[in-house]
């Protein structure tokens, strides 16, 4: 009845009934994210909170807001509107640059004019948040000299030494005397390898962190796994951004930008990209870490372990060629100790096993399917699954051919993911240029490029654009999709077996990149193409492996996995565990002794037998 009545109100265009937990949690999440989102508005001008707390009679709010906006437009700007219109306290934050001389003058002029407007409307400058250093200087104007003197006398009586909150309420400095930036603010110029033009430059990318501290959450989501494990501010998204800001602003010496302390601050960043999606300001610390490492290695040189991990594609190729001897050598007594001493790989971490009959050998030896109904499709045969878990890409071929595609191998030596993650951006850029030349002819023809490994496929849609910005990488990115996303977006009907069995419970642990860049809904939908499949998507955050991280930081890695993922898997022994990420599957097996399938393996197992 309430909804029906509200729909009849003039001006109401929609009524949302939020009666289930998921819907109203989304609404509260939007409410909490709104303020930090405002701070991510592109450009030097940001919504500044110095007159945002005005409150007037709600019946006069429309007129007040119109007059407020006229003042802002007279000063050549506008405002961000946010808050509680129902009680007359609509937070209006003027868009200004507090490091610009002209805008600093506008701050004070706007404050004085808004105070006059508030007095005219019989309102208050501080309807909710208090005066602070932003509005206290207006109190004599607002309350008059007699009441203001009483304020001063009360303050002097209770705080004769002026020790408690000096400058608040009475005897306040001008509102422009305590700016975080100010006219003298300058940032250290940094020549970057990655393209930061979308963020407005490296310093602007750092400044996207506004200190809201959403990265300090510990109960849900992915950001920030190292903070969830350590509880240490230094190892949070905000901590890392602030460390960079301290150097860029001159509060720390310029050498600290590539110093050992900064290296320690970034050491436990898993580059999960959770902050890129879950931080309301979308600060991308994974990208900042990659750029930092590039500068750090150029100054200090990269150790052998870093170089080997960056060239994992070559290691995997050699390991596969020498299998099963290579697997035997990895298990010899003392080999784990030697790896730890020489390469920094924790002796407790088992290595993936190599497959001699790797994916390329299998694919090139099999009969080719030509003139398929849906035409060609390119499969990104990544160097992780191809040499260690070739069954994943074999399953992809089965599913794609069942869908009517003529499958082609991308045939890249490596997508460059490992080099990029390790910050060796010089060789990574060369490799990416080679890969672009191989993929571009397919992409220009509109041929889809699909992949099974999220960390590799999504490198084409993310870091490629930063390493080699331009039309070529944008064309490739537009054609690149995870294989499960492609199945859903193209509405492909697979020949899957019907089943009369009870629903098959499936636990889905999404890959961090997948969750941050494209989400897991399409992966879940692809799994549910199989009849009788009931999927539970785990809110398990990062698995803790994150490429080479779990080899180098074993204790933190296992602590992250033990937070949600391991207990959730152990709690449902009858469920099939599914994880798109190569590292995730290995972490799950190591932490729970359960083998996880790739989603495409799950679907391939349920295809109707070929006639």
Mean pLDDT, residues 450-467 taken together: 97
Name the band, by pLDDT with cuts 50, 70 and 90, for residue 38: confident
Q: What is the pLDDT, as a whole number, of residue 87? A: 93
Both structure tokens of 158: 């209770």
According to the model, what pLDDT value does residue 611 have? 57
Q: Are 383 and 457 in contact (CB under 8 A)?
A: no
Q: State the sign of the Cα–Cα–Cα–Cα dihedral 597, 601, 607, 610.
A: negative
Distance CA 110, CA 72 (A): 7
d(CA 412, CA 435) in angstroms, rounded, equals 6
Return the HEC string of 150-196.
HHHHHHHHHCCCCCCCCCCCCCCCCCCCCCCCCCCCCCCCCCCCCCC
> Would you say 572 and 591 are in contact if contact means Cβ atoms under 8 Å apart?
no
- Residue 171 region by backbone torsions, left for phi larger than 0, else alpha for psi between -120 and 50, else beta: left
pLDDT at residue number 574: 93
Burial 496-529 (b: 16+ CB within 10 A, else e): beeeeeeebebbbbbbbbbbbbbebebbbebbeb
Average pLDDT over residues 185-201: 92
Work out the average pLDDT over 114-125.
97
Q: What is the dihedral of CA 540, 546, 551, 555, to 10 degrees?
A: -40
List pLDDT tens digits, range 7-28.
Answer: 999 889 999 999 888 788 888 8
Which helix (DSSP H) or strand (DSSP E) does residue 578 occupy? strand 576-578
Q: What is the pLDDT of residue 167?
A: 94
- Mean pLDDT across the stretch 243-253? 94
Contacts of 116 (CB under 8 A, 6+ apart): none
Has residue 448 got a pLDDT over 60?
A: yes
User: Which pLDDT tens digit goes with each residue over 331-352?
Assistant: 999 999 999 999 999 999 999 9
Is residue 503 over pLDDT 90?
no
Predicted local confidence at residue 500, as pLDDT: 60
Q: In the beta sheet, which residues pair with residue 46?
A: 96
Query: How are beta strands 533-537 and 504-508 bridged, if at all?
Result: parallel
Three-state DSSP class for residue 450? strand
Q: pLDDT exceeding 90 applies to what percent of the chain?
A: 84
What value does the mean pLDDT of the chain take?
94
Cα–Cα nearest to 434, from 473, 463, 403: 473
Q: What mean pLDDT do residues 78-100 have?
A: 92
Would you call the peptide bond into 98 cis, given omega within 30 degrees of 0 as the criterion?
no
Determine the pLDDT at residue 609: 87
CB 584 within 8 A of CB 508: no
Residue burial 557-593, b: 16+ Cβ < 10 Å; e: rest:
bbbbbebbbbebbeeeeebbbbbbbbbbbbbbbbbbe
pLDDT, tens digit, for every residue of 143-181?
999 999 999 999 999 999 999 999 999 999 999 998 888
- Does 428 score more than 70 pLDDT? yes
What strand order describes the sheet that includes 406-409? Answer: 406-409, 376-380, 449-451, 480-482
Q: How far apart are CA 583 and CA 577, in angstroms?
A: 14
Task: List pLDDT tens digits, range 255-297.
Answer: 999 999 999 999 999 999 999 988 878 899 999 999 999 999 9
Please report the pLDDT score of residue 370 as a whole number: 78
* pLDDT digits 0-9 by tens, 528-569: 999 999 999 999 999 999 999 999 999 999 999 999 999 999
pLDDT on residue 106: 97
Q: What is d(CA 579, CA 589) in angstroms, rounded to the nearest whole number?
A: 11
The rounded percent of the chain whose pLDDT value lies above 70 is 100
Q: So what's the pLDDT on residue 4?
A: 93
Give how far Cα 469 sits from Cα of 271, 414, 473, 474, Å. Answer: 21, 19, 6, 8
């Amino acid at each position: 009845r309430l909804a029906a009545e509200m729909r009849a109100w003039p001006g109401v265009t929609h009524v949302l009934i939020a009666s289930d937990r998921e819907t109203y949690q989304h609404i509260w999440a939007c409410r909490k994210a709104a303020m930090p989102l405002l701070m991510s508005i592109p450009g030097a001008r940001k919504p500044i909170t110095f007159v945002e707390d005005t409150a007037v009679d709600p019946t006069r709010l429309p007129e007040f807001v119109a007059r407020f906006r006229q003042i802002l437009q007279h000063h050549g700007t506008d405002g961000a509107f946010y808050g509680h219109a129902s009680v007359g306290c609509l937070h209006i934050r003027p868009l200004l640059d507090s490091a610009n001389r002209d805008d600093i003058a506008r701050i004070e002029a706007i404050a004085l004019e808004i105070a006059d407007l508030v007095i005219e409307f019989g309102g208050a400058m501080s309807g909710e948040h208090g005066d602070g250093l932003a509005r206290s200087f207006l109190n004599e104007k607002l309350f008059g000299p007699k009441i203001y003197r009483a304020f001063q006398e009360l303050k002097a009586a209770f705080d004769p030494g002026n020790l408690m909150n000096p400058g608040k309420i009475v005897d306040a400095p001008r509102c422009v005397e305590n700016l975080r930036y100010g006219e003298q603010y300058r940032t250290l110029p940094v020549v970057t390898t990655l393209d930061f033009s979308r963020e407005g430059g490296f310093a602007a990318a750092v400044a996207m962190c506004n200190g809201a501290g959403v990265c300090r959450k510990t109960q849900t989501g992915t950001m920030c796994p190292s903070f969830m494990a350590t509880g240490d501010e230094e190892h949070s998204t905000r901590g890392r951004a602030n460390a960079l800001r301290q150097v860029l602003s001159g509060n720390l010496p310029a050498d600290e930008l590539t110093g050992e302390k900064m290296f320690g601050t970034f050491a436990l960043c898993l580059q999960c990209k959770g902050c890129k999606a879950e931080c309301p300001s979308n600060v991308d610390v994974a990208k900042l870490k990659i750029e930092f490492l590039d500068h750090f290695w150029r100054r200090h040189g990269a150790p052998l372990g870093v170089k080997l991990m960056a060239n994992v594609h070559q290691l995997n190729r050699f390991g596969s060629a020498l299998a099963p001897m290579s697997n035997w050598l990895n298990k010899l007594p003392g080999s784990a100790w030697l790896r730890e001493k020489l390469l920094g790989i924790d002796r407790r971490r088992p290595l993936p096993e190599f497959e001699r009959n790797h994916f390329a050998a299998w694919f090139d030896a099999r009969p080719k399917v030509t003139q398929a109904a849906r035409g060609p499709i390119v499969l990104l045969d990544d160097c992780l699954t191809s040499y260690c878990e070739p069954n994943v890409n074999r399953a992809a071929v089965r599913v794609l051919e069942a869908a009517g595609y003529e499958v082609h191998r991308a045939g890249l030596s490596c997508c460059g993911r490992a080099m990029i993650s390790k910050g060796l951006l010089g060789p990574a850029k060369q490799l990416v240029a080679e890969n672009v030349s191989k993929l571009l002819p397919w992409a220009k023809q509109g041929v889809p490029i699909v992949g099974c490994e999220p960390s590799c496929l999504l490198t084409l849609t993310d870091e490629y654009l930063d390493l080699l910005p331009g039309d070529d990488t944008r064309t490739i990115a537009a054609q690149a999709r995870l294989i499960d996303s492609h199945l859903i977006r193209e509405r492909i009907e697979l020949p899957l077996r019907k089943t009369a069995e009870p629903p098959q419970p499936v636990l889905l642990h999404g890959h961090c990149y997948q969750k941050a860049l494209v989400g897991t809904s399409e992966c879940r939908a692809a799994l549910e193409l199989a009849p009788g499949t009931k999927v539970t998507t785990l809110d398990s955050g990062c698995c803790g492996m994150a490429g080479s991280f779990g080899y180098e930081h074993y204790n933190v890695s296992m602590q992250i996995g033990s937070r949600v993922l391991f207990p959730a898997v152990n709690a449902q022994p009858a469920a099939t565990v599914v994880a798109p990420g190569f590292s995730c599957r290995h972490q799950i097996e190591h932490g729970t002794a359960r083998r996880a399938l790739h989603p495409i393996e799950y679907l391939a197992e349920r295809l109707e037998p070929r006639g």
